[in-house]
Structure 1
Amino acid sequence: MSRTVWINGSWLPEQEAKVSVFDRGFLFADAIYEVTAVIDGKLVDFDGHMARLRRSCASLSLACPWDGEALRALHQELIQRNQLDEGAIYLQLTRGDSGDRTFLCPEGTEPTLVLFTQAREIVNVPQGIQGIRAITCPDIRWGRRDIKSVGLLAACMAKQEARRQGADDALLVEQGFITEGASSNVFIVTPDNRLVTRPLGNDILHGITRGTLLKLAQELGIEHVERPFTPTEAREASEVFISSATSLVWPVVAIDGVAIGDGAPGPFTRRLRERYIAALREQMA
């Protein structure tokens, strides 16, 4: 069934949804995005995603003519039009069509806003239940990873390398420390039962799911520490997992061919994932 897509005020069948070849998102990756999960036909952590969208806009001096309530209404309309029960809504905001390829954007350029749905299972997926295998690879991305930019070539290359090596995903390494996953935040549980994740800064995305998980971990009685950690620490950890809006919580059962713990999802990761999904459904009830 063809999806309905929203572009700058128009509802269109996906086959007719197009943007200009001179759009700066296409030519320069001069654009930002957000992905909001949908579970049971309802938006997950929408306010957090909109707050991060505003931060990204401010960081790039990118105008967003649509306020949070207008964007919420668009998301909800997309859910209804596409009968989306589980999956995600992708939002992309670009600086717009500059009329030609030019590095300096002309004054008065109107931004381009695109939203579309992606129907897929995100709760009962094998990766969340059985875990994933990861590799480590160099983090070659630009220095402002806290801005959710569409410049994702380095992340795509890392995921392709993981596939080439027979793994599921990549953990990115810079100056001897893991920054994050190719499209996720990374956590380890140390042998002395502490949850460790990298602190917020320009070098990682400020994950909406990450923030919720740290609060839930505290409720579950595990101490957490925000500090850098090395690939060796990760390989020697009791448990490792990644988080994002659409993966929720995925255990990592091997890194660079080395089993984490006993090579199966650990008890804390399983418990945290179950509690997070339950909390989402309580929040949306």
Structure 2
Amino acid sequence: MEYALLNGEIIDRSEAKVDVEDRGYQFGDGVYEVIRVYNGKMFTLTEHLKRFANSAESIGISIPFSIVELTEMLEELLLKNNLQTGNIYMQVTRGTAPRNHLFPTGNVPPTLVAYTIKGVRPLENLKSGVKAILTEDIRWLRCDIKSLNLLGNLLAKQKASEQGCFEAIQHRGQDVTEGSSSNIFIVKNGTVITHESNHLILKGITKDVIVDLCKKNNIPVLERTFSLAELGEADEVFLSSTTAEVMPVIEIDGNKIKSGNPGPLTRNLQEFFKKEIEKQCGVLVNNGI
């Protein structure tokens, strides 16, 4: 039996249902998080839960549980489902109310859902690298909120997939923002560069870990906007996300990045990230490299 968390109760996943008038279903009126699990332990859990709470607060949803309470419930959910490697997906919506663009009045409780997803690490892609395309960033201007409204991201990701690529790198005019489901990094002359965390991108938890690892290991790192021209002239390119970790990008729009192989600084960061997983989750990690 698989279990899910619904409004504070862990129940049979097949029984975890929400109403057709739930505002997440009808308006995308909610926020979500994906938390990586290694060795049965949640990686960067506190950071994910803080972002979850901040995203909810940004759109006026009050999560009816503290971070401590959410932690306890998610740990119980992991144990119930015996998840060793994979993800936890969780979301909160504004709740169920008659359809109206205005926020519901009165005491309408939010709907909180979480469940587990089994999954392995993408070792082959981590080893060989992935291809990407460029696409104009058509999303709204509050990408820092991890909203359920993902249609722009989905269209970009689908476009990449149809062209045999792993990711779509988005840009607003000449400025690179982020991937459809990732943050983007370039390396130039030994310096790692990634977009500053503002309203145009999601403040990635893995992104923050990588920036911190750069600082701890004396790798120059800058958080600033960079251009399409800089992307094309980069020595190395990689992307990051909860599930992709530190993923080399070897080709963009059919053009190879330098030799078309993952670069040495990217390889170093993969190793540092692997050690961070081992430190937090107490498991030996194979990067497949």
Q: TM-score, normalised by structure 1?
A: 0.95
Residue 189 of structure 1 contacts residue 240 of structure 1 at CA under 8 Å; is this kept in 2?
A: yes
Point out 4+ residue stretches in structure 1 off by more than 6 angstroms: none
2:45 corresponds to which residue? 46
State the alpha-carbon separation in 1 of the partners of residues 203 and 79 from structure 2: 29
2:285 corresponds to which residue? none
SS in 2 for 1:186: strand
Find the partner of 1:144 among 128, 142, 145: 142
1:232 corresponds to which residue? 229
SS in 2 for 1:213: helix
1:103 corresponds to which residue? 101
Residue 30 of structure 2 contacts residue 56 of structure 2 at CA under 8 Å; is this kept in 1?
A: no
Q: Give CA-to-partner distance per residue, 1:2-24, whole Å, 9 cap, x none.
A: 52111113333333321100000
1:281 corresponds to which residue? 278
Find the partner of 2:204 among 187, 203, 207: 207
Residue 22 of structure 2 contacts residue 93 of structure 2 at CA under 8 Å; is this kept in 1?
A: yes
> Percent identity of the aligned residues?
38
SS in 2 for 1:276: helix
1:84 maps to a residue whose letter is L
1:13 corresponds to which residue? 12
Q: Structure 1 regions of 5+ residues with no counterpart? A: none
State the alpha-carbon separation in 1 of the partners of residues 92 and 8 from structure 2: 13
State the alpha-carbon separation in 1 of the partners of residues 164 and 63 from structure 2: 41
Q: TM-score, normalised by structure 2?
A: 0.94
State the alpha-carbon separation in 2 of the partners of residues 227 and 9 from structure 1: 40
State the alpha-carbon separation in 2 of the partners of residues 226 and 140 from structure 1: 22
State the alpha-carbon separation in 2 of the partners of residues 81 and 130 from structure 1: 35
State the alpha-carbon separation in 2 of the partners of residues 249 and 107 from structure 1: 45
SS in 1 for 2:53: helix
SS in 2 for 1:196: strand
SS in 2 for 1:144: coil
Cα distance, 1:247 vs. partner?
1.2
1:101 maps to a residue whose letter is R
Find the partner of 1:196 among 193, 196, 200: 193
Equivalent pairs counted in the alignment come to 281
Cα distance, 1:263 vs. partner?
0.5
Q: Give CA-to-partner distance per residue, 1:88-138, whole Å, 9 cap, x none.
A: 10110000001x21112222111000000011012x522212111000101
Residue 186 of structure 2 contacts residue 237 of structure 2 at CA under 8 Å; is this kept in 1?
A: yes
SS in 1 for 2:11: strand
State the alpha-carbon separation in 2 of the partners of residues 49 and 112 from structure 1: 18
1:171 maps to a residue whose letter is I
- What aligned pairs does 1:110-149 form with structure 2 within 5 A after superposition? 110-122=109-121, 125-149=123-147
1:181 aligns with 2:179: yes
RMSD after superposition: 1.2
1:33 corresponds to which residue? 32
Q: Structure 2 regions of 5+ residues with no counterpart? A: 283-289
2:6 maps to a residue whose letter is I
Residue 5 of structure 1 contacts residue 12 of structure 1 at CA under 8 Å; is this kept in 2?
A: yes
SS in 1 for 2:203: coil
SS in 1 for 2:178: strand
